Amino acid sequence: MPFATTHTVSLQGSVGHLIEVQADVSAGVVGMTVVGRPDATLNEARDRVRMAIANSMLVWPSTRRVTILLAPADLPKSGTHFDLAMAVAIKAAEALVPAEALQHTVFIGELTLSGGLRSVPGVLPMVMAAAQRGARRVFVPEPQVREAAMVPGMEVFGVRSLAQVFSVLNGDDVPEAPPVAPMSGARLLSWRGQHQRAETDLADLVGMADTKYAVEVAAAGGHHLLLSGPKGAGKTTIAERIPSVLPDLTAEEALELTAIHSLAGALEPSDDLIRRPPYYAPHHDASKASLLGGGTGRVRPGAVSRAHCGVLFLDEFPLFRTDVVEALREPLESGAVTIARGEEISTFPARGMVVLAANPCPCGDYSPSVPSSRCTCHEAARRGYRQKLTGPIADRIDVVRHVEPPPRHGASDAFALRETSERVRRRVTLARERQAERYAGRGFRLNSQVPGHLLESDWPLEAPGRSCIDDELYAGRLTRRGAVRVHRLALTVSDLRGLERPGLEEVRVALHLRTGEPLQLPALGRSG
Q: What is the DSSP letter of 451?
A: -
**Which tens digits make up the pLDDT trace of 81-100?**
999 999 999 999 999 999 89
**Which tens digits make up the pLDDT trace of 75-86?**
888 889 999 999
294 in Cβ contact with 339 (< 8 Å): yes
Extended strands (E) in 302-416: 311-314, 336-341, 344-349, 353-358, 399-402
**Which tens digits make up the pLDDT trace of 380-424?**
887 777 777 777 888 999 999 998 877 665 555 555 567 899 999
- Packed helices 463-474 and 480-496: angle between N→C axes, nearest 10 degrees: 150
The reported pTM is 0.86
d(CA 265, CA 286): 19
Which of the four pLDDT bands, split at 50, 70 and 90, describes residue 298? confident
Q: Mean per-residue pLDDT for 29-36?
A: 90
- Packed helices 463-474 and 504-515: angle between N→C axes, nearest 10 degrees: 30
CB atoms inside a 10 Å sphere around CB 201: 16
CB atoms inside a 10 Å sphere around CB 387: 10
Containing 66, the helix (H) or strand (E) segment is strand 65-71
d(CA 297, CA 168): 34
What is the rounded end-to-end Cα distance, in angstroms, of the chain? 70
In the chain, the domains with their CATH numbers are 3-170 (3.30.230.10), 196-449 (3.40.50.300)
The residue among 251, 395, 248 whose CA lies nearest residue 310 is 248
Which of the four pLDDT bands, split at 50, 70 and 90, describes residue 276? very high
pLDDT at 69 over 70: yes
d(CA 381, CA 360): 10
Q: Mean per-residue pLDDT for 476-501?
A: 94
Distances (CA, A) of 359 to 135, 211, 343: 53, 16, 41
The per-residue pLDDT for 488 is 97
Containing 324, the helix (H) or strand (E) segment is helix 322-327
Instruction: Write down the mean pLDDT value for the chain.
Output: 88
123 in Cβ contact with 262 (< 8 Å): yes
- Packed helices 123-132 and 251-263: angle between N→C axes, nearest 10 degrees: 130
d(CA 177, CA 401): 60
The per-residue pLDDT for 194 is 45
The per-residue pLDDT for 359 is 87
The per-residue pLDDT for 191 is 38
pLDDT at 154 over 60: yes
Which of the four pLDDT bands, split at 50, 70 and 90, describes residue 187? very low
**Looking at 116-125, 174-183, 249-258, which range is the least confident one?**
174-183
The per-residue pLDDT for 369 is 64
